[in-house]
Chain A
């Protein structure tokens, strides 16, 4: 008996009290003593004793074709056992219970559900061995993972989101520059100056995206991010040059003439 199957039956019998509060005990058992489902109001000892008594009657009842249904009417309550595919549904209800409802639940509804489940998914009830083996082979998380990540439901919105609001952007190009120290009263201490042709290429590449910062990395691995401006000089000497103020040079622990890797920061 798989856990899924027991859970399904448990869910059904848990509803019994909602439908008919006069039903005090409900449980499903097998002749071998296995308790398939129980609504918690019945102790294991009670069930064991009932199974023993039931089996004693069932052994003698072969002469009438086995037990399909057993009813004991007491002065206070009544007990009913309905057999269904090697399982037996036991209910105890007060005499005040609506017999039509009790009979509908115990002799029609549950046996029909059990029969249907057995027909639709026989592997749930009887051919459980392969499933059990699978469950043991794989960790619980591995089985649950596909359930938590349905493939088509989540991937489609993700894809559309990335194409509509976040268009795919090319990886920022990395340019190698030689350091040139820059200083003076009009020079901002937190801004580097980069070859204007390179900046133009960046603007072409990223269209409307405004690029305000660059990421600088030395060959030693020191990095910083700072604002940038184009180099004012329009001569050939500006090519491959990055002008860096003293403060940033100190932060990068580098100096004039050394090489740095520069790439635009795309936000």
Chain B
């Protein structure tokens, strides 16, 4: 389940053209760096949007506002369930999780305390996105 961490002192929510961006406390530098990278990735062809969750902050940028909740649940579940699978099969520290659906694929990564989910069309190159995030 999605459990967005929120800061009580700084909450900013911006709705632009079909894009919902929720930003909460941007003190974490890694979080800021990742949000900048994701903003760049978001411009790539085939990328539908992303969710970035830190300890005290979250950014959701999705082209389809009606799918925000469903995508947020899926993202959260991918992060949680992959931990159990990784533990069971001794895969080592999780680097990436990729779920491919009929038309859309979701790439999840954990960078420190920050959890990233990038939603894209199946034709998009997720390997490049992984490299870009790890830069």
A: residues with CB less than 8 A from B are 25, 46, 49-50, 52-54, 56-57, 59-61, 63-79, 92
Contacts and interface: CB of A to CB of B under 8 A. Distances in A.
B19 to A, nearest CB: 18
Contact of A64 (B74, B84, B90, B93): B74
A65 B101 CA distance: 5
Given A46-B88, A64-B106, A72 B101 contact: no
B92 A74 contact: yes
A65 B91 contact: no
Interface string B78-96: 1011101110111111111
Given A68-B101, A71-B98, A60 B73 contact: yes
B113 interface: no
Contacts of A65: 101-104
Interface of B: 67, 70-71, 73-74, 77-78, 80-82, 84-86, 88-106, 119
Nearest to A55: B81
A73 B101 CA distance: 18
Contacts of B95: 73-75
Contact of B91 (A52, A69, A92): A92
A63 B74 CA distance: 8
Nearest to B64: A63
Query: Which of A49, A64, A69, A76 has most chain B Cβ within 10 Å?
Result: A64
Given A50-B88, A53-B85, A74-B95, A68 B100 contact: yes
27 contacts: A50-B85, A50-B89, A56-B81, A57-B81, A59-B77, A60-B74, A60-B78, A61-B101, A63-B67, A63-B74, A64-B102, A65-B102, A67-B100, A69-B98, A71-B97, A72-B94, A72-B97, A73-B91, A73-B96, A73-B98, A74-B94, A74-B95, A76-B91, A77-B89, A77-B92, A79-B89, A92-B89
A54 B100 contact: no
Given A54-B81, A61-B74, A72 B104 contact: no
Nearest first, the 7 A-B pairs at minimum CB distance are A65-B102, A74-B91, A64-B101, A75-B92, A76-B92, A53-B81, A63-B70
